């Protein structure tokens, strides 16, 4: 699960997907394309909306997406088209490029919908992000 800062959207996506699958069989992680929040806890607004739905993301720490992640993971879900451009810029092979998916394609196929960045907005943005990610992760989890 990849976003820009790895403190708002992708930590929620990681926590939500982990809650829907067998984590002893599937390795789920998140990262940001940017470096600003490496080592940080998730944004307190993401922690709060997670807590509201019984998803604890407080143990997560920010890390930056790394080119090795293309080999480590079978699927790389990006939150928006800007994340997609940044991740694809690091890809070296078609096999790597094919792993990169816009997460909301899971619920709005071929509509090219972004998970909006809630960082500069209010609490309602985090609730909205949560609901989108919950639906998308339900779809993803059905395959595992």
Task: Compute the C-alpha angle 111/142/60, nearest 5°.
Answer: 85
Compose the 25-64 pattern: x for residues touching ligand 4NP by CB under 6 A, - for all others.
-------x---x----------------------------
Among 3, 17, 57, 100, binds ligand 4NP (CB under 6 A): 3
Q: Which of 69, 80, 117, 134 is catalytic?
A: 117
**Nearest alpha carbon to residue 118 among 11, 30, 1, 35:** 11
In this complex, which beta carbon is closest to ligand 4NP, that of residue 89 or of residue 110?
89
Out of 41, 96, 114, 119, point to the residue binding ligand 4NP (CB under 6 A): 119
SS3 137: helix
What tokens does 25 get?
Answer: 């069989």
From residue 77, alpha-carbon distances to 37, 45, 102 in Å are: 19, 22, 6
For ligand 4NP, the binding residues in 70-109 under the rule CB under 6 A are none
């Amino acid at each position: 699960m990849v976003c820009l800062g790895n403190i708002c959207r992708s930590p929620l996506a990681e926590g939500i997907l982990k809650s829907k699958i067998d984590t002893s069989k599937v390795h789920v992680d998140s990262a940001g394309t940017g470096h600003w929040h490496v080592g940080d806890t998730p944004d307190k607004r993401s922690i709060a909306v997670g807590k509201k739905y019984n998803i604890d993301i407080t143990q997560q720490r920010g890390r930056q997406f790394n080119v090795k992640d293309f080999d480590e993971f079978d699927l790389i879900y990006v939150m928006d088209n800007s994340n997609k451009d940044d991740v694809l810029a690091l890809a070296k092979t078609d096999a790597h490029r094919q792993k990169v998916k816009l997460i909301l394609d899971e619920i709005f196929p071929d509509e090219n919908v972004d998970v909006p960045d809630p960082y500069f907005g209010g609490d309602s943005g985090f609730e909205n992000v949560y609901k989108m990610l919950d639906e998308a992760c339900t779809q993803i989890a059905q395959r595992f």
